[in-house]
Structures are given as structure tokens and as C-alpha cells.
Chains A and B, each alone.
Chain A
Amino acid sequence: MEPEYLEKELLIRGTEINYLFICKTKLWYFAKGITMEQESDFVDLGKFLHEKSYFGEEKEVQIGTINIDFIKRKNIIEIHEVKKGKSMEKAHEIQALYYLYYLKRYGIEAKAILNYPKLREIKEIILDGREGEVEGAIKEVEKIKSMPNPPKPKKSKICKKCSYYELCWI
């Protein structure tokens, strides 16, 4: 049997798609390997939340460039992402859509669930009809990653909580 190849490999990571809707400067630095996560208390909290929740699931499932928090196998595969709060909801949603889009290219039909354990809420995401949104985001991410210099940062209320705050505003 002929092995199947994807027309074009998707090399973008879920986090990069997510950052597109949070901050383009952060996306550029992150994509170039200039990361700040090692010092962020918020990231520590996220990891803790993740470690202490959802026992018995398949956790941290790495498929190509995407890393899914956990998976449930029901009649349809459910991929789960765990998030702290809803302030970045749009970014969470596009990340989930990207994962579904990614899996679909491997012929895997799935739906995504965003889990907000602190809010005791979940949100279901399905890809149908939203492929265009994902493709637009992919193009945009690729454009930013190909820029020789980082985009100028824009001051916003989320800057203060961002681990890149000092790098951007020094």
C-alpha cells in the first residue's frame, strides 16, 4: 500500500496559533525560541492544575507539532484542553479548532472540549464549517514568523500579567 503523505506538513504549534490572538510580539519571540515561561508563576499554576486534575485520562498526547492536554475515547474522540480563565477565550477556541483541523488531515474525526476547572465550566468546539478560520490563522502565523524583526508591541491591559512584560517595555 502506498504511504499517504500530507500535501504540506503543518509545522505550527498550537501555542503559536493561540498567541496570534493574544499578542503578535509574543508570538514572534516565542516562535524564535525566546521564551519566558520558566519564570512565570501563572505557568506554574497551570501545570499544577493540570497535574492534579483529570486522573485516569491519556494526558499530554503529542501528535506531530500539537500537544493535547488529554484525550477521551467515546463514540467520537474528544480532545480536551485545560484553561485557567476565559479572558483569552478566542485564543483557546482557535487553538482547539487548529487541533481538530490538524487531526482531520490525518483522517481523525474529533471534537474538542475546553475545560475551565476553576469556573466549573466546559465548552464544546466542533470544526465543521470553520476550516476557513483556521486556514486564515495559519497564514497569519506564518507571515509573522517570517518577519525578520518582531512586530512592535502594543500596550494592553494583559501586558502586566505577561512574562514578556519586561522584554517588551524596557
Chain B
Amino acid sequence: MRKKALTLFSDGYLFRKENTLYFENVNGKKPLAIEGIYDIYIYGKVSISSQALHFLAQKGIALHFFNHYGYYDGSFYPRESLHSGDLVVKQAEHYLNPEKRLNLAKLFVIGGAKNIEKNLSKFGVKVKFDDFLEELNDAEKITEVMNIEGRMREEYYKFWDETLPDEFKIIKRTRRPPQNEMNALISFLNSRLYPTIISELYNTQLTPTISYLHEPSERRFSLALDLSEIFKPIIADRIANRLVKQRIIKKEHFRDDLNGVLLNDDGKKIVLRAFNEEMEKSVKHPTLKKNVTKKRLIRLEAYKLIKHLTGQKEYEPLIAWF
């Protein structure tokens, strides 16, 4: 049985009774099949019993919480069960060695850049980021790599805007608060993607706090930020693009707030459904020669990192072939 992400959108109570997990809300009490749950995403106002948390910890299920605006707040990350001292040492070694760190940092940005190029070509814009990639090649410091990444992203939004309907142009990327609809949509999706990557890392021996492009102090699970460079374009941006161009998400799904423009509840539900469906979609993997879900691609990226760190094979970032 393939385990799936569980999203709790409504307000309610999550508890355990004997060996069953229940969610109770105004519509009644519903048992949840624990063996089918991969991780849990909580958007509503949910009370949780400590017994439910014990049960989830025992099953190795992470819970991710989002605030009123739909932004990621934090996770209940059960005591880690997968340990490898050797791998932690190697992860740290690759951080402490400036050359090894720079190499990995660049690879994350190169992956992001190529996936952005691929997106633009899918959106009907033919553009190559060769100049950026060349600059990246010569970069000698992490700060330079970050700077190139930032400028490239600005270019990306400019080109992407050419294909977006007027009322959904990005114009300028603004966060917390987003100043317009497209910014709100992208932020919401990125907020959902980040803990998905955290969940995948939880299921490997990688330590999520040691990262290469981002500073380990930037956020608790900064390795998830590194991997998100690869996956933001091919997951979040593509969903956002499709939702507005197919007019599934409309102006009416947003509201103005003191905190900028935000998705309303209907809007959030539509986006979450699209996100969950997207993650379960399969693509044929060219080297593994089998179908893997989009979500699994994140795990495979973590495996590639493990192979790089253990000296089995140089890391090559995922470039979307789909």
C-alpha cells in the first residue's frame, strides 16, 4: 500500500482510542487508517491528544503545522529513528571543506536554473541562462552563488510574466506579505512544498540541519531549503502556472488582508487538492526504468546526495525530463 499525505483542513480534534487514530469535527468522528498515512499537514485549528502524538511518533509519522495565513509554522518531527554516524560526519565534512561545499551549492543552483529554463520553454518562452551558468561556474564564494541565483530568478519572473494573464502577473516577487495574487499563490505552494521535503529527509539518514547553499543557521531544516531549489520550479511553479492559466484559480479565491493578498479558504482548498494530486502523479524514470511519483523524486534526490557524500557517485541535480 502506498502511504499518502493526510491534510486536515477543518477545525477539530485528533486523538487515539486503542489502536485507532480518529479525527472528530462538526461532521462527526472519522477513523483514520494509520498504516496508510505518510505524514500529516494541519491547516485547521486542531487539538491533538498526547496519546495521538505518542502513536504517530511510534509509527514515524511527522506532523506539519500551518498558520492562519497558510504559512508553514513548524513540525512535530518524531524522535529520529534512522541514524548513521558515518553519514553525519561526511555531511559535516562536505560543509567544512570550502571546495566541497561550493561544489554542492552550485549544483543546487544549476539544477534550479535548468529547471527554470525548462519551465520557460514549456510556457512558450525560449531563453537560455548560459550567461548565469557561466558566471556560476566562476563563482568562488557562496555569497556570489546566492547573488547569481537571485538575479536569475528575477529574470525568470520577468519572462514568466510575459505568458501570464494580466491580473496574475508577478511584477515583483514579494513575500510575507505577498503584494498580489500570483505572489500569494507561489508563497502558499512553496510553504506546502518545504515540509514535504522535510518529511522525505526524515525518512533518510541525512541530517536535515546540515546544508550547503543555505547556511545551516538560516532555518532549522536548511537542507530542505537546498533541495527546494530543484523542486520549486518543477512542482510549485508549474502548479501555480496551470491553476491560473486554466482559470481554476480566479481573483475571487483571494482576499485582501492587513498582511497583503492571501488565498481564501476555497482558494487554499483548490490549491491543496492540486498539490496532492500532483505529488501522486507518476513519471517514468529514465535510469531506474520504472514509474515513480513526483514525491518520490524528492527522496531519490536525497539518495543521490547520500551517494555523493559517501563517494559512490557525483551528485547530478534532477533536470526535469517531463
A contacts, CB < 8 Å to B: 29, 32-35, 38-39, 148-150, 152, 165-167, 169-170
CA distance A38 to B288 in the complex (A): 21
Query: Could you show 21 A-B contacts with beta carbons less than 8 Å apart?
Result: A32-B86, A33-B82, A33-B83, A33-B84, A33-B85, A33-B86, A34-B84, A34-B306, A38-B82, A38-B203, A39-B203, A148-B311, A150-B312, A152-B312, A165-B288, A166-B299, A167-B303, A170-B288, A170-B300, A170-B304, A170-B307
Q: How large is the interface on B (under 10, 10 to 19, 20 to 34, 35 or more residues)?
A: 20 to 34
Q: Does B87 touch A at the CB level, under 8 Å?
A: yes
Closest 8 CB pairs of A and B: A33-B84, A149-B311, A32-B86, A167-B303, A170-B300, A34-B84, A34-B205, A170-B303
**Chain B residues closer than 8 Å to A169, beta-carbon distance:** 287-288
B contacts, CB < 8 Å to A: 60, 81-87, 203, 205, 287-288, 299-300, 303-304, 306-307, 310-312
Residue in A closest to B285 when the chains form the complex, CB atoms:
A170
With A34-B86, A38-B81, A170-B303 known, 19 other A-B pairs at CB within 8 A are A32-B84, A32-B87, A33-B85, A33-B87, A33-B205, A34-B87, A34-B306, A34-B310, A35-B82, A152-B312, A166-B288, A166-B299, A167-B303, A167-B306, A169-B288, A170-B288, A170-B300, A170-B304, A170-B307
CA distance A170 to B288 in the complex (A): 6
**Chain B residues closer than 8 Å to A170, beta-carbon distance:** 287-288, 300, 303-304, 307
**Chain B residues closer than 8 Å to A149, beta-carbon distance:** 310-312
Chain B proximity of A165: nearest CB distance (Å): 8
